[in-house]
């Protein structure tokens, strides 16, 4: 199944090659005896939102740091717009590190201005951008407050502004949703979509699958430094096949509870999510329902959720997934 | 394209210059310095004066000295307070060990201030013994020594048949004034003799500057360490070094903070120069028309040698600052918390405290081989070489060599430190071992 997804991507990769903004080829990184990233290859299409998924410690942050040229890979190559010298393009990249933090004693405006200048913006230009962004984030009145007077959520918004203030072509967000409340999560999701509309390419890492489903065009699932799955989200899902069905029924499910096709049932009384052993099992299962006289009012084949794909892939490689937040 | 290092310099500079601490030091430091100078000169002339009556016991085994001694003590200003005699002497005729222990006990319980023992053979070679709870009061002891010596000497002269008065007249010591011979300035060249006041003023200024150098290097090197640590603990460093190289960040920090110090010095110097130039009209406001000649001489010396000393000061300050601050930045980079950094930085502080302590001894022998050698150890140079320049100007080639040596050290330190810094700022958790540091240098 996993192979199907890969083949799917490979056949497409030829035609999209020219449009790749970022490409990693056989990237490898060791820290002492520990291999953090092993032979990772993927490419990111211009204008896409790319999800880098994996459990904690999978090598996501290391990969992103290598893209940012903060640490150098031991082997392999990273190309930006077909150019190997990524360090020449750092100003066209915006980076939000996993661990958040700003100068606590500085004023909001001064912090953003400092980072904007580091990214190559002139002061006047930066100031007008800052004004617009603060307004957009409804933080205008906080412009002259010190960072340590802000709430955590506000500080995170400020940090997001510092990441995108220079209108980068590529935006790298390391676990951008961690620690955000639902309102800010939605705000961030909308912002990401908006930035993509404006032509930016976004790569973000996460272990929360829900956002990935909503946002990503492409995903890359890494585990223990290796790529397990990579490709277009739809293709990946298709590759996994539909082995879940949702049914609505009247009466009881008892007659089919011990069916040979079923791997698990999540019964809600009038509605149940049923996991089949293989995608092909849905025909015999439907037949069984009819034969055993269950009064079914709806029968729908479901795509696997990314969460299921994630858990299955990792577990298939001997890993354990702590339930996502 | 704006220069990114400039952005770092600007931030480091502005956040410090705008801080309350900077404004406070700008005003408080000169006040503190003046206070310190005044206090130490006040302490130097302050004597162990007391209003309380101090009782002293004297064991006079000769039986000839005590009366004369009491008479001399009664007249001596050292033993008086506001014209009243506060030191009371009485004779004890103790001889046994037990009785002496009893005397010691009376000293311990503060009944007696001290007791003196004048041995029988004091006219030949015996020594006077002085017992007190504290023996750091050299003035009182010296006065007793002089009084007893005079009595003993007079007795010796009398026994040898000399008139006391004549001998005293013949034995009076000569006056002694010291003058430093300096190289003259400008076309005149040659030798130039400095008066004691001129030397004092010049050395005083020199000391003050060494002290300022020492203080500022320590304070601002620590400030750099904390700033590196802040960037590391808030993780903002990841954002910064995804825009500029770690060495650029480090360099920007050093230049920024160094400029803060130089700004403060510049303000002081400008203020000082204005003060010196307008001293007469300023004092006129307070109704003082004429200045003591010594004061004019001091001002004159500062005017004459100030520019040269200050130039050297700036050179040695900048060198010292870069040398030590780079090391402190590395400490900040390899540590995870302020406590840890303070501990790790401890041994580094010794690097600057050692020359500061040595200076107090070495200034007496500025051209000894030891002084010369120590002053050329780059980490000691900012203090020891600068001290030598103030006390006894070394040959120009030596100064140039020294500056060259320090430049090379600064570069080397920055090169090595830059590598450790680069790795350290991204490492969290345990502080690295020396072996790991060695590994980082070669990444």
Query: Is B435 near chain A, with CB under 8 Å?
Result: no
Q: Do B238 and A99 touch (CB under 8 A)?
A: yes
Q: Do B233 and A104 touch (CB under 8 A)?
A: no
| pLDDT at site B186 | 58
Q: What is the pLDDT averaged over residues B152-177? A: 83
CA separation for the pair B40, B42 (Å, rounded): 5
Find the closest chain A residue to B443 by CA distance.
Answer: A72
* pLDDT tens digits along B321-352: 999 999 999 898 888 888 888 888 888 888 88
Q: CB under 8 Å to A6, separation ≥6 — which residues? A: A229, A230, A231
CA separation for the pair B164, B160 (Å, rounded): 10
Q: How far is A223 from chain B (nearest CA, A)?
A: 22
| pTM, rounded to two decimals | 0.78
CA distances from A237 to A272, A307, A316, B435 (A): 21, 11, 16, 49
The closest CB to that of A115, out of B15, B234, B239, belongs to B239
Q: Higher pLDDT residue, A166 or B37?
A: A166
* pLDDT tens digits along A192-217: 999 999 889 999 998 777 778 878 88
The pLDDT confidence band at residue B82, using thresholds 50, 70 and 90, is confident
Query: Is B163 near chain A, with CB under 8 Å?
Result: no
The closest CB to that of A106, out of B1, B15, B241, belongs to B15
The closest CB to that of A90, out of B15, B231, B242, belongs to B242
Q: CB under 8 Å to A16, separation ≥6 — which residues? A: A43, A45
3-state class of B190 per DSSP? coil
Q: Do B235 and A100 touch (CB under 8 A)?
A: yes
CA separation for the pair A173, A52 (Å, rounded): 10
CA separation for the pair B314, B302 (Å, rounded): 16
**What are the chain A neighbours of B1 within 8 Å (beta carbons)?**
120
| pLDDT at site B187 | 58
CA separation for the pair A242, A156 (Å, rounded): 38
**What are the chain B neighbours of A70 within 8 Å (beta carbons)?**
238, 241-242, 426
Q: What are phi and psi of A38, to 5 degrees?
A: -125, 110
State which H helix or E strand residue A69 sits in. Answer: none
| pLDDT at site B50 | 67
Query: Is B420 near chain A, with CB under 8 Å?
Result: no
Q: How many CB pairs under 8 A join A and B?
A: 68
The closest CB to that of B238, out of A93, A97, A105, belongs to A97
CA separation for the pair A300, B128 (Å, rounded): 116
Q: What are phi and psi of A305, to 5 degrees?
A: -75, 160
Find the closest chain A residue to B11 by CA distance.
Answer: A114
* pLDDT tens digits along B250-286: 999 999 999 999 999 999 999 888 888 887 777 777 7
Question: Which candidate in B243, B246, B256, B430 is best for mutational testing of the A interface (most A CBs within 10 A)?
Answer: B243
User: What are the residue ranges in chain A where pLDDT is below 70?
Assistant: 1-18, 318-325
Q: Do A101 and B233 touch (CB under 8 A)?
A: yes
Q: How far is A310 from chain B (nearest CA, A)?
A: 29
CA separation for the pair B225, A85 (Å, rounded): 32
Q: What percent of chain B has pLDDT over 70?
A: 96
Answer yes or no: are the C-beta atoms of B151 and B65 closer than 8 Å: yes
Bridge partners, B204 (sequence order): none
* pLDDT tens digits along B181-194: 877 665 556 777 77
Find the closest chain B residue to A148 by CA distance.
Answer: B234
Q: Do B15 and A120 touch (CB under 8 A)?
A: no
Q: What is the pLDDT averaged over residues B107-129? A: 88
Comparing CA positions, the residue from B346, B222, B432, A112 lying closest to residue B230 is: B222
**What are the chain B neighbours of A102 within 8 Å (beta carbons)?**
234, 236
Q: How far is B428 from chain A (nearest CA, A)?
A: 12
Q: Do A70 and B426 touch (CB under 8 A)?
A: yes
| pLDDT at site B184 | 65
CA separation for the pair A140, A163 (Å, rounded): 18
Q: CB under 8 Å to B130, separation ≥6 — which residues? A: B114, B116, B117, B141, B144
Q: Regarding beta strands A34-45 and A201-206, do their DSSP bridges make them parallel or antiparallel, or are they unpaired?
A: unpaired
| pLDDT at site A320 | 57
Query: Is B114 near chain A, with CB under 8 Å?
Result: no
| pLDDT at site A13 | 46
CA angle A279/A281/A285 to nearest 5° reads: 135
């Amino acid at each position: 199944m996993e192979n199907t997804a890969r083949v799917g991507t490979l056949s497409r990769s030829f035609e999209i090659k020219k449009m790749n903004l970022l490409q990693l080829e056989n990237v490898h990184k060791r820290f002492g005896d520990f291999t953090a990233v092993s032979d990772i290859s993927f490419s990111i299409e211009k204008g896409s939102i790319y999800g880098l998924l994996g459990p904690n410690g999978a090598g996501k942050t290391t990969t992103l740091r290598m893209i940012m040229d903060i640490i150098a890979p031991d082997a392999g190559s990273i190309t930006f717009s077909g150019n190997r010298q990524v360090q020449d393009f750092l100003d066209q990249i915006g980076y939000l590190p996993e661990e958040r933090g700003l100068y606590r004693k500085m004023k909001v405006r001064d912090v953003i201005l400092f980072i904007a200048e580091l990214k190559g913006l002139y002061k006047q230009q930066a100031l007008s951008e800052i004004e617009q962004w603060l307004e957009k984030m409804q933080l205008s009145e906080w412009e002259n407050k010190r960072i340590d007077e802000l709430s955590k959520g506000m500080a995170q918004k400020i940090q997001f502004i510092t990441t995108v203030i220079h209108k980068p072509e590529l935006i790298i967000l390391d676990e951008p949703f961690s620690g955000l409340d639902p309102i800010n999560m939605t705000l961030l999701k909308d912002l990401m979509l908006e930035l993509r509309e404006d032509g930016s390419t976004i790569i973000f890492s996460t272990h929360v699958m829900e956002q990935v489903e909503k946002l990503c065009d492409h995903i890359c699932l890494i585990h223990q430094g290796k790529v397990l799955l990579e490709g277009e989200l739809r293709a990946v899902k298709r590759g996994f096949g539909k082995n879940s069905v949702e049914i609505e029924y009247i009466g009881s499910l008892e007659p089919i509870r011990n069916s040979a096709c079923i791997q698990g049932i999540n019964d809600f009384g009038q509605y149940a999510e049923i996991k089949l052993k293989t995608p092909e099992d849905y025909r015999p299962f439907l037949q069984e329902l009819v034969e055993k006289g269950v009064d079914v009012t709806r029968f729908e084949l479901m795509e696997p959720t990314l969460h299921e794909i994630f858990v299955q892939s990792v577990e298939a490689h001997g890993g354990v997934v702590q339930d996502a937040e | 394209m704006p220069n990114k290092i400039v952005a770092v310099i600007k931030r480091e500079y502005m956040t410090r210059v705008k801080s309350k601490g900077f404004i406070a030091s700008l005003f408080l430091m000169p006040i503190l310095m003046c206070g310190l100078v005044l206090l130490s000169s006040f302490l130097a002339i302050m004597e162990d004066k007391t209003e309380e009556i101090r009782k002293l016991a004297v064991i006079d085994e000769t039986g000839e000295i005590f009366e004369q001694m009491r008479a001399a003590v009664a007249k001596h200003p050292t033993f008086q307070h506001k014209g009243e005699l506060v030191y009371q002497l009485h004779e004890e005729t103790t001889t046994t060990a037990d009785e002496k222990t009893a005397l010691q006990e009376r000293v311990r319980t503060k009944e007696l201030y001290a007791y003196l023992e004048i041995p029988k053979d004091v006219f030949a070679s015996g020594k006077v013994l002085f017992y007190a709870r504290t023996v750091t009061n050299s003035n009182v002891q010296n006065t007793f020594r002089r009084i007893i010596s005079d009595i003993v000497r007079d007795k010796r002269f009398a026994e040898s048949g000399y008139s006391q008065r004549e001998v005293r007249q013949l034995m009076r010591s000569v006056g002694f004034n010291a003058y430093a011979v300096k190289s003259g300035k400008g076309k005149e060249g040659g030798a130039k003799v400095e008066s004691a006041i001129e030397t004092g003023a010049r050395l005083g200024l020199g000391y003050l500057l060494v002290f300022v150098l020492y203080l500022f290097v320590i304070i601002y090197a620590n400030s750099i360490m904390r700033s590196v640590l802040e960037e590391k603990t808030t993780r903002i460093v990841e954002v910064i070094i995804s825009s500029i190289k770690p060495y650029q960040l480090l360099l920007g920090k050093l230049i920024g903070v160094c400029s803060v110090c130089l700004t403060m010095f510049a303000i002081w110097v400008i203020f000082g120069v204005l003060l010196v130039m307008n001293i007469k009209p300023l004092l006129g406001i307070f109704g003082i028309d004429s200045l003591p000649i010594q004061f004019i001489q001091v001002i004159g010396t500062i005017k004459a040698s100030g520019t040269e000393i200050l130039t050297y000061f700036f050179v040695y300050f900048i060198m010292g600052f870069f040398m030590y601050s780079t090391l402190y930045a590395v400490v900040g980079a390899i540590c995870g918390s302020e406590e840890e950094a303070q501990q790790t930085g401890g041994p580094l502080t010794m690097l600057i405290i050692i020359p500061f302590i040595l200076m107090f001894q070495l200034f007496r022998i500025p051209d000894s081989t030891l002084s010369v050698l120590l002053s050329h150890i780059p980490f000691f140079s900012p203090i020891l070489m600068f001290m030598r320049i103030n006390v006894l100007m070394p040959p120009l080639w030596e100064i140039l060599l020294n500056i060259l040596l320090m430049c090379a050290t600064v570069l080397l330190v920055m090169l090595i430190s830059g590598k450790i810094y680069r790795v350290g700022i991204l490492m969290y958790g345990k502080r690295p071992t020396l072996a790991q540091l060695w590994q980082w240098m070669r990444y």
